[in-house]
Structure 1
């Protein structure tokens, strides 16, 4: 099945957080990236971070945590978080994140 998705702008005064995380080897050395965009399509900021040995799922979860932490630090209101990992997003929606990340 092939699906097409299009990037949508957030509402005025809201931020869209696009995240990705990956591990080379799964598990293996990983990394994360986050991009913060506004309603005009302007990139307001980005962050990236290398991780030690993780799975792809754990890297995706770390990306969500770091992205949300950064938006809170800056004082932005998040419209939504967009990820290619449905599993990671659903874990946060159901408040069932991996216990090793709860103290992060």
Structure 2
């Protein structure tokens, strides 16, 4: 069983997921940003039309980062159940190749030295 680990005070946590019914199939994403007290700051969901599950998994953190940027969040931890996406975030070169515009804007506002790299990102396996 997974437990929620809060980010440090003054930091926020983005939870994201993407899925499709079929591959490809009708797809969608969901994102939520919470503060260190688990207070919901913002949440969104988006229908993506007919897409692959990988497309949906990659769109979720991208849209979540856009949401954080629009809120002026500068300290963001991200957590999702896609190991491919979360491991790619650790390798920013690979992640930038997939989400260049979002991360370029995100890196301009984030004080990366203040974000523990062992916490960003976190892989949470899906429930069984």
TM-score w.r.t. structure 1 length? Answer: 0.84
Superposed displacement of residue 92, structure 1 = 2.9
Q: Counterpart in 2 of 1:40?
A: 37
Counterpart of 1:15 (choices 9, 12, 15) is 12
Counterpart of 1:49? Answer: 46
Alpha-carbon shift at residue 101 of structure 1 (Å) = 5.6
Which residue, 69, 94, 110 being the options, matches 1:96? Answer: 94
Deviates more, 1:51-60 or 1:89-98: 89-98
Q: Which has the higher contact order (CA 8 A, sep 6+)?
A: 1
For structure 2, which runs of at least 5 residues remain unmatched after alignment? 103-128
Contact 1:17/1:78 (<8 A) preserved: no
Q: Which runs of 4+ in 1 moved over 3 A?
A: 97-104
> Can you give the 5+ residue segments of structure 1 that lack an aligned partner in the other structure?
none
RMSD: 2.0
Deviation at 1:77, TM superposition (A): 2.4
Residue 100 to residue 89, structure 1, CA distance change in 2 (3 Å): closer
Say if 2:10 and 2:75, in contact at 8 Å, map to a contact too: no
Which structure has more helix as a fraction of its residues? 2
Q: How many residue pairs end up in the alignment?
A: 101
* TM-score under structure 2 length normalisation: 0.70
